[in-house]
């Protein structure tokens, strides 16, 4: 069995849509012969030999779209570990949708049974990119659409992840880059199955709109805060509601302690009342916290300070096999509930303790600002919610009061 594939590099543009295509006057072709105009006969060319089929079934169309989108989702979530120099970065790669006009042109070119790229495949809506693939067998038509699309995707092993930000033309990766191109939104394909001599050939043409592989442009917009360690990423951004929830829960707990209403403690009774002002949100602190959360590394970073704050940090993670069931309140409450282990006498002179450090930072009296980040991701069958909150000025200074008592 032999397989062949090739690529054409094209620019990206968007042309106004019209339901009635005048194929011989597609402006973006710039004088090049448009395939539908050049080959008005919808039948198979004589070059095809003994024709089995020149039409994709509905099932094959669905298969093509599904396989493309599965591969795009894999890369988007940061799960593709292959590459020339490391795994591929996660990023913004939306799903593709079928476009009948792109498919019509792709099918007309496939009907010519010419393994190469046509001169112009643009429609009135799209300036189109193209991938082609052909595989042959001596014992029948056993090649699937998945087989052919996978040939394109497997070029990822040759892809330098550094080139995602600035596309570099390469015969070794061009099919892959078009397949995952971030601004491509639509696809349409055609197929020719024909016998030539002793060989049963399956020739697939897929056209993409808008076309990809524009030199120097990003293959897709990477998300610099999403690490491959996260697995399948659900979210790496707090919603406005979650930000408000975080502030409210922190300030409710701080107010409870400040008013002397927290009766739990280890040793000498309840926590004393004191001067614990409410926290306000700080975007700079939050940006650093989000960057660390997005590494999905359950530990503390080495330095989280900003130009205005020396920052402290609390981290928490909860996982479930049934979905993302942990709220921001759940995670913050884990920190606060360390109060039951906190000796009220240590409020006057802080003593480091791994069993109470989250609580003491949460209620630290000189801390005035907070900024947090989150990563929600699936790994090993577990749905994990990882929260990082940075605080400024930082707390947990040994020998200092946790807060001024009243």
Q: What is the pLDDT of residues 215-253, one digit of tens each?
A: 999 999 886 555 778 888 888 899 999 999 999 999 999
pLDDT at position 268 is 64
Residue 1: pLDDT above 80?
Answer: no
Q: What is the pLDDT of residues 92-150, one digit of tens each?
A: 898 999 999 999 999 999 999 999 999 999 999 999 999 999 999 889 888 999 999 99
Q: What is the pLDDT of residues 348-357, one digit of tens each?
A: 999 999 999 9
Residue 18: pLDDT above 50?
Answer: no
Q: What is the average pLDDT score of the chain?
A: 91
Mean pLDDT over 81-101 rounds to 89
Q: What pTM does this model have?
A: 0.56
Element (H, E) at 190: strand 186-196
Q: What is the pLDDT of residues 350-403, one digit of tens each?
A: 999 999 999 999 999 999 999 999 999 998 888 999 999 999 999 999 999 999
Look up tokens 């008013």; give the residue.
Answer: 259
Q: Alpha carbon of 371 to those of 276, 295, 361: distances in Å?
A: 18, 17, 13
In the CATH scheme, what is the homologous superfamily, with its name and number, of domain 2-223? Answer: CAP (3.40.33.10)
What's the topology of domain 230-405? Pathogenesis-related Protein p14a (3.40.33)
Q: What is the pLDDT of residues 60-71, one digit of tens each?
A: 999 999 999 999
pLDDT at position 278 is 98
Q: Poorest-confidence range of 182-191, 226-235, 259-268, 272-281? A: 226-235
Peptide bond into 210 cis (omega under 30): yes
Structure tokens, 312: 């402290």
pLDDT at position 166 is 94
Three-state DSSP class for residue 58: helix
Cα angle, residue 338 at apex, residues 333 and 344 outer, rounded to 5° = 125
372 vs 76, residue with greater confidence = 372
Q: Alpha carbon of 163 to those of 8, 89, 151: distances in Å?
A: 18, 10, 20
pLDDT at position 159 is 96
Q: What is the pLDDT of residues 317-327, one digit of tens each?
A: 999 888 888 99
Three-state DSSP class for residue 156: helix
Using the CB atoms, write b or e for 7-35: b if 16+ within 10 Å: bbbbebeebeeeeebebeebebbeeeebb
Q: Alpha carbon of 176 to those of 171, 188, 212, 326, 357: distances in Å?
A: 10, 17, 10, 37, 48
Cα angle, residue 311 at apex, residues 388 and 348 outer, rounded to 5° = 105
| Fold agreement between 2-223 and 230-405 | yes
Q: Is the dihedral of CA 215, 180, 76, 158 positive or negative?
A: negative
Confidence of residue 290 (pLDDT cuts 50, 70, 90): very high
What whole-number distance in Å separates Cα of residue 406 and Cα of residue 398?
21
- Of the chain, the percentage scoring pLDDT greater than 90 comes to 78
Locate the domains of the chain by residue range: 2-223, 230-405
């Amino acid at each position: 069995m032999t397989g062949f594939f090739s690529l054409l590099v094209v620019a990206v543009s968007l042309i106004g849509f019209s339901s009635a295509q005048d194929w011989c006057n597609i402006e973006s072709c710039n004088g090049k012969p448009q395939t539908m105009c050049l080959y008005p006969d919808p039948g198979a060319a004589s070059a095809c030999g003994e024709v089995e089929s020149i039409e994709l079934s509905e099932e094959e169309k669905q298969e093509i779209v599904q396989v493309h989108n599965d591969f795009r989702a894999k890369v988007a979530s940061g799960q593709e570990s292959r590459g020339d120099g490391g795994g591929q970065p996660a990023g913004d790669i939306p799903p593709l949708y079928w476009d009948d006009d792109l498919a019509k042109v792709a099918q007309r070119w496939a009907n010519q049974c010419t393994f190469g790229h046509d001169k112009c495949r643009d429609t009135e809506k799209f300036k189109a990119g193209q991938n082609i693939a052909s595989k042959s067998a001596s014992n029948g038509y056993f090649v699937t659409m998945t087989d052919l699309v996978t040939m394109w995707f497997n070029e990822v092993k040759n892809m330098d992840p550094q080139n995602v930000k600035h596309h570099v033309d390469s015969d070794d990766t061009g099919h892959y880059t078009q397949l995952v191109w971030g601004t491509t939104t639509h696809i349409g394909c055609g197929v020719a199955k024909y016998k030539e001599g002793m060989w049963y050939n399956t020739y697939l043409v897929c056209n993409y709109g808008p076309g990809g592989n524009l030199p120097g442009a990003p293959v897709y917009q990477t998300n610099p805060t999403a690490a491959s360690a996260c697995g399948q990423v659900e979210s790496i951004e707090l919603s406005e509601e979650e930000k408000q929830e975080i502030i409210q829960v922190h300030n409710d707990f701080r107010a409870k302690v400040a008013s002397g209403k927290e009766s739990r403690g280890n040793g000498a009774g309840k926590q004393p009342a004191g001067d614990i002002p409410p926290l306000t949100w700080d975007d700079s602190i939050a940006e650093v916290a989000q960057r660390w959360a997005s590494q999905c590394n359950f530990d503390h970073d080495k330095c989280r300070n900003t130009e205005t704050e020396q920052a402290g940090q609390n981290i928490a993670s909860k996982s479930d096999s049934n979905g993302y069931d942990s709220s921001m309140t759940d995670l913050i409450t884990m920190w606060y509930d360390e109060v039951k282990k906190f000796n009220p006498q240590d409020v006057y002179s802080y003593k480091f303790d791994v069993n109470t450090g989250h609580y003491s930072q949460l209620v630290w009296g000189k801390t005035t600002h907070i900024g947090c980040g989150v990563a929600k991701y699936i790994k090993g069958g577990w749905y994990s919610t990882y929260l990082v909150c940075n605080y400024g000025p930082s707390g947990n200074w040994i020998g200092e009061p946790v807060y001024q008592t009243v």
